[in-house]
Amino acid sequence: MIRLKNVSKRYNLRANKAFLLRDVFLHAAGRKPTTTEFWALRNIDLEVQRGEALAVMGRNGAGKSTLLGLIAGTIFPTDGTVETEGRICALLELGVGFSPDLTGRENIFLNAALLGLTEREVRARFDEIVAFSEIEKFIDTPVGKYSSGMVMRLGFSVAIHIDPEVLIIDEMLTVGDQSFRKKCRERIGALKARGCTFLLVSHSPDDIKFLCQRAVWIHQGEVKLAGDVDTVLAEYNKVML
């Protein structure tokens, strides 16, 4: 379902705080603003098979979110190739894909359409999406007035009701109350039983062990260790402790 071959991602960072007017003068003088290269990922080779659940581990800033963004197609590699198959749904950041000026109802139709559903398909699943999100009273309220928990519940509910073949989750299982997290776990278990492929970024060993068979540890943009969950978790915890 997912194949990365020798993938690297570079960002050009300004060495000093950028000011638009200063950059205009530099450009007019034929000079470029000073930048430095930052390689978020280097030489990543990775394969995820259909129906597999892979945990992506590492410290903050290690390159985990960049890796998920490359797989989701929201960013593109500097070098190497990223190949994916099937309908991919990515829960990368709270509220991504939602317009704050549109209501919850409008955002459901917009978000589901972007993920490949027809209007008829969305209407058929609309009531289930709203019921699962538990925001029935606020479904016609602009999303910009929602709490972060409400946005997460709505986004997660849309994602699991579009029948994704690949579901990418970046720390989203930690948001919401205990009852909602339990419901999310149950629905994820059902998707897993149907053969959905998962990529999970989490700092929770319980979430990782619950969902994943394999793990990859990213350190300073490179794969430090890949293997079965118990082995990678044990080595990662040694370093973290």
Specify whether 77 is located in the same domain as 10: yes
Position 56 in a domain? yes
Position 98 in a domain? no
Among 158, 191, 222, the domain-final residue is 158
Position 41 in a domain? yes
Specify whether 67 is located in the same domain as 186: yes
For residues 15 and 122, give the distance between their C-alpha atoms in angstroms, rounded to a whole number: 47
Rounded mean pLDDT, 157-179? 81
Specify whether 177 is located in the same domain as 196: yes
pLDDT tens sequence across 106-134: 999 998 888 888 999 999 999 999 999 99
Specify whether 38 is located in the same domain as 137: no
Specify whether 81 is located in the same domain as 194: yes
18 has a pLDDT exceeding 70:
no
Specify whether 117 is located in the same domain as 52: no
Specify whether 181 is located in the same domain as 67: yes
The CATH number of whichever domain residue 57 belongs to comes to 3.40.50.300
Q: Which of 86, 59, 125 is nearest to 1 (CA)?
A: 86
Q: What is the pLDDT of residue 241?
A: 75
Specify whether 16 is located in the same domain as 118: no
pLDDT tens sequence across 174-215: 666 778 888 888 888 899 899 999 999 988 888 899 889 999
Among 142, 158, 174, the domain-final residue is 158
pLDDT tens sequence across 44-95: 999 999 999 999 999 988 999 899 999 988 899 999 999 999 888 888 765 5
Rounded mean pLDDT, 142-147? 93
Domain, as residue range, for 57: 2-86+165-240
Specify whether 172 is located in the same domain as 67: yes
Where does the pLDDT of residue 30 fall: very low under 50, low under 70, confident under 90, or very high at 90 and above? low
Position 113 in a domain? yes
Specify whether 81 is located in the same domain as 113: no
Where does the pLDDT of residue 163 fall: very low under 50, low under 70, confident under 90, or very high at 90 and above? confident
Q: What is the 3-class SS of the chain, one letter each residue?
A: CEEEEEEEEEEEEECCCCCHHHHHHHHHCCCCCCEEEEEEEEEEEEEECCCCEEEEECCCCCCHHHHHHHHHCCCCCCEEEEEECCCEEEECCCCCCCCCCCEHHHHHHHHHHHCCCCHHHHHHHHHHHHHHHCCHHHCCCEHHHCCHHHHHHHHHHHHHCCCCCEEEEECHHHCCCHHHHHHHHHHHHHHHHCCCEEEEECCCHHHHHHHCCEEEEEECCEEEEEEEHHHHHHHHHHHHC
Position 35 in a domain? yes
Among 136, 158, 180, the domain-final residue is 158
Q: How many domains does the chain have?
A: 2
Specify whether 71 is located in the same domain as 129: no
